[in-house]
Structure 1
Amino acid sequence: MDAEALIDDLRARGLSRPVALLLDWDNTLIDSWHAIHDAQNHTLATFGLEPWSLEEIRKRVRGSMRDSYPQLFGDRWLEAGEVFYRRFAERHLETLVPLPGVPEMLRDLHEAGLYVAVVSNKKGDYLRAEAAKLGWQRWIGRLVGAFDASRDKPAVEPVHLALEGSGITPGTQVWFAGDADIDIECAVNAGCVPILVREEPPATDEFPDHPPALHVDGCMTLSNVLQKL
């Protein structure tokens, strides 16, 4: 469905242009899977566990470290986290790849007066370092990562922190866009409009509890919809 058809559908459902857009980071704005894959497998090997394929990484890396690592590493999850981040810190800035249309989208939406923030389950320090490396902070109101709020996605606290100081409260005037089920769930939990951003459309019954209000195939389409809505 092209941007014009998406806009007609949104208007028919009573949805209008938001005042704020919250965005996931990894696999929504940038491709950093190779750095994550390398650091995760280094950590698994350090603790005597089998490596994951890149496809497994893409499917299994959803929650934040403090939510997912205790299940993998038990009482040693903090130690495992240190191993992961030491490895990740060595190379993540050198392997950043912006996804198509992202810099243009961030610039155009900022210039159009839309409040834009990022809510990620990547550790906040690394998230902000990556944004600085790319020069994107000038277009982003706040970058919220794992451990910045009292809880991480899909909890609502990171959403509240991302909007803090903007004068905007969660609701249908705030869209939350990301590529994963945890982003859609977080949007619904916070009362925002959930937007699925990825090339493939959602499968039947893929999101039974938290269906996205809109699917777009990438940030260029999302930007077109927002600017014309």
Structure 2
Amino acid sequence: MFRALIFDWSGTLVDDLPPVLDATNHVLGVYGKPPMDREEFRVRFRLPYREFYEEVLPGVPLEELETHFRSAFSASSAPVTVLPHAREKLEWCRRHGIRCFVLTSMDADAFRGQLEEFGLAPYFEATYAGVLDKRERILGIIESHGIDPADCAFVGDMVHDIDTARHARITSVAVLTGYTHPAPLADALPDITVQDLDGLRRLLERPLARKAPVATVGALIEDEAGRYLMVKTHKWSHRWGIPGGKIKRGESSEDALRREIREETNLEIDEPRFVMVQDCIDSEEFQRPEHFLLLNYVARRISGEVVLNEEAEEFRWADAEEALRMDLNQPTRVLLTEVMRSTQQA
């Protein structure tokens, strides 16, 4: 379970899309552009919103657009409501001792008005509004509040929210209740997708005993000098480990291994040799409670230079003794120790 949740506001906790659409269409009309319906807006709108306006109204200063927008937003008679299940989710977080924050690009004065009107302020440890690019603020929030990234998720309804979570190396949770159409959200590859906040609550409450173990593959990859590739990742509490991932349905373990290594490191491997299987049950090192079956291999690099994807922070080639002195996650330490033992006996 997460110990801290950072929420977006509009489209995640509050439905203010009707007046936002009214105000956006007013702005478009000022400059002679046709209005958008709700679905077109959900497909095209994105954050930071200056990018959206550069596309639909190129060359118009953002300050000028914001003046028109705020006036029209205030004048709109369209209702703003708390989304279904939002208040219940915040109550659930309070009961379970989960710290809650808000990070939103919404105008700060309008946000404070809604926060007071809906009586939601007591649920949040701190709120941050008027942030045009959330990526520029989230690292400071995590640091200033002493939040462990491994125990934190950003919950939002837009691609920018997923990008923000990825920038901070925390879990991204996409909800389908807001501004962005499900297709662009899916293309952004969030870590978790839920229909609404009740779905997130039910997901976090799901009894672990009822979840089947997840089969994964990973390998100690050896280079020409006999060194092993170590990668550091936020998913394992910023400890060092090996590349790998889940086996897809219908995929052999060795095919999955080659695919995961290629996706995570850009390397091609050969001669994979199975070493051991490990049960990893609710490891405190991993970002959330999970039961993994870790199929561990050693393999040889045959081509490519290391290019990490967004899951990893850095990499290092190290011989076995050097690797054991690193801050390894426990499954990697067990694997490396077993490989050294078997090598010495050979």
Q: Output the TM-score relative to the length of structure 2.
A: 0.53
Q: 1:215 aligns with which of 193, 208, 213?
A: 193
Q: Tell me, which stretches of 5 or more residues in structure 1 are unaligned?
A: 1-16
The equivalent of 1:11 in structure 2 is none
The Cα RMSD (Å) is: 2.7
Cα pair 2:14 2:83 within 8 Å, conserved: yes
Aligned to 2:133: 152
Q: 1:144 to 1:61 in 2, by over 3 A?
A: farther
1:87 aligns with 2:72: yes
SS of the residue corresponding to residue 215 of structure 1 reads strand
Alignment partner of 2:112 out of 92, 111, 128: 128
Match for residue 225 of structure 1?
Answer: 203
Cα distance in structure 2, aligned partners of 1:87 and 1:202: 27
Cα contact 1:64–1:122 (8 A) shared by 2: no
Return the alpha-carbon distance in structure 2 between the equivalents of residues 88 and 114 of structure 1: 33
Q: Does 1:168 align with 2:153?
A: no
| Conserved 8 A contact 1:184-1:212 | yes
* 1:205 Cα deviation after fit: 9.8
Q: One-letter code of the match for 1:152?
A: D
Deviation at 1:88, TM superposition (A): 0.8
Q: Structure 1 or 2: larger strand share?
A: 2
| CA shift for structure 1 position 116 | 0.7
Q: 1:164 to 1:135 in 2, by over 3 A?
A: farther
| 5+ long unaligned stretches in structure 2 | 207-288, 290-346
* Partner SS, residue 175 of structure 1: strand
- Contact 1:36–1:88 (CA under 8 A) maintained in structure 2: yes
Aligned partners of 1:82 and 1:26: how far apart in 2?
20
Shift, 1:22, TM fit: 1.1
| Residue number in structure 2 paired with 1:7 | none
Given candidates 170, 181, 186, the residue that maps to 1:192 is 170
Q: Does residue 98 of the first structure (1) align with residue 76 of the second (2)?
A: no
Encode CA deviations 1:19-52: one digit per residue, 9 max, x unaligned.
Answer: 1111122222121111001100111111222211
Q: Give, in whole Å, the separation in 2 of the partners of 1:118 and 1:47.
A: 33
Please say which structure displays the higher CA radius of gyration. 2
For 1:204 and 1:84, the matched residues in 2 are separated by: 25
Amino acid at match of 2:133: D
Name the CA shift for 1:65/1:197 in 2 (closer, same or farther; >3 Å). Answer: closer
- How many residues matched? 204
Question: Once structures 1 and 2 are overlaid, which stretch shifts more, 115-124 or 63-72?
Answer: 63-72
Instruction: Indicate the residue corresponding to 2:41 in structure 1.
Output: 57
CA contact (8 A) 1:109 1:227 kept: no
Flag the structure with higher helix content: 1
Is 1:42 the counterpart of 2:20? The answer is no
Matching residue within 168, 179, 188 for 2:157: 179
1:222 CA drift (Å): 1.0
